[in-house]
A and B are shown apart, each in its own frame.
Chain A
Amino acid sequence: MANVQESIETIGARQRQRCRLLELPAELRMQIWEYSISGHHVAFYDQEGRLAYGVMDDVHMSTPGILLPDSLDNMDNDAFIDIDKHTSEVHRSALSGKNTCFSQRLLPRKVQLTALLKTCHLMCVYILDNPVVYTSTQRSSYAI
């Protein structure tokens, strides 16, 4: 543990001279965090026995249907017809064994929400040394 602490301090001293991110004012850093790691729908699911996660948005998964900026009372059920068609196609593909592309398309794409944190080596070392997060990374396939 002492060695780890020592290495953190050594790296820290070195990185304080190089990592501009750490030199930014706190307000600016918070804005960067907010843009990069907040406001997502983070979906968790089992993938071959391991817990995986992905972001559900238009970029990271193929989400059928449309967003309906309306109240429930005013919704037209027929607006969901595309979802039904899409789902049926998926189901047929699965039954016929042609399931490679749809499974990739429908799964939320894996992203590393902590990637930005890890761009800084010192922060990465800290994450790995933090018992809380370390426990998480050991038990599952994700590390948040």
Chain B
Amino acid sequence: MQSRYSEAIELLYTANVFVFLQNTSLQAFHAATATQHLNGIRSVHMHWQVPELTQRVPNLSAPGQSEACRRDSAAIIAAMPHLRQLSVFLQGKPNVYKAYQQLLEGMASGLAHPDFYVARVTPLSPYTAYESGAPEWLEELRSKSGRYGALRVCRSFFKRGWLWHKVNDLGQAPVYHFRVGTLFEPHPSFGEEGTIVRSYVVATRDTP
């Protein structure tokens, strides 16, 4: 019986794409899942958002925005021994690029034998003043050579999702949090950047 259960539960972790829609989702999943199952995961999509985009005073103390959350999440990804596909979608104003940088670098630090690792970042808006260094960083990411180790950083073509003022977390009660992104997977015809397999708009609530 144990072997029959094992053959099925193994498949559950090895043959599905695990999508984490909120910054804290991966940490919660990690806390609730046995290491042996985590080690079986082959494919992950992370949606990372800086939600204080429309707030005059950014609330960087929110659980999902702390440095500890970024470091923990990156470490969890980096420690997955059989992870072969990682797709990251960064939704939000790239003004806080150092947070994104920390996340991507942390993830890339442990990637051993990737088949497909991509990250999508938001583009610059002509209407926003950016923190010094952000435009250069984004340009680097968008360039063909934009890589963090094995992590390939690609352009995001999800144009309308870039309009963060339309999809930003509202900061009101009840609080809805919109995750707007695209999910990429490898495809033999489309090289390293892969192809879109799903666009999503997801409303979650309460905890950013």
Contact = CB atoms under 8 A, between A and B. Distances in A.
Interface of A: 8, 12, 22, 26, 29-30, 33-34, 37-49, 51, 56, 61, 63-72, 75, 77, 80-81, 83-84, 86-88, 90-91, 94-95, 99, 102-103, 106-108, 113-114, 116-117, 122-123, 126-127, 130, 132-133, 135-136, 139-140, 142, 144
B163 to A, nearest CB: 7
Contacts of A126: 1-2, 5
A93 B1 CA distance: 50
Given A117-B5, A123-B4, A39 B203 contact: no
14 contacts: A33-B11, A40-B17, A41-B183, A42-B17, A46-B28, A46-B206, A49-B207, A63-B201, A72-B195, A87-B160, A87-B178, A117-B5, A140-B28, A142-B32
A49 B198 CA distance: 27
Describe B's contact surface by its main secondary structure: mixed
Contacts of B154: 72
B190 interface: yes
Contacts, number: 198
A94 B204 contact: no
Nearest to A50: B28
A67 B196 CA distance: 7
Interface string B184-204: 000001110101111111111
A106 B201 contact: yes
B15 to A, nearest CB: 3
Nearest to B197: A67
Contacts of B190: 70-72
B199 A38 contact: no
Interface in B105-134: none
A47 B56 CA distance: 27
B203 A51 contact: no
Given A41-B45, A84-B166, A64 B201 contact: yes
B98 interface: no
Contacts of A136: 32-34, 37
Interface residues of B, number: 63
Given A63-B199, A123-B1, A99 B29 contact: no
Contacts of B28: 44, 46, 51, 140
A47 B24 CA distance: 12
A102 B180 CA distance: 14
B4 A45 contact: no
Contacts of B176: 94, 99, 103
Contact of B201 (A39, A70, A83): A83
Contact of B202 (A37, A61, A67, A91): A61
A42 B199 contact: no
B19 interface: yes
B174 A51 contact: no
A38 B26 CA distance: 20
A29 B207 CA distance: 40
Given A46-B204, A84-B160, A103-B205, A39 B16 contact: yes
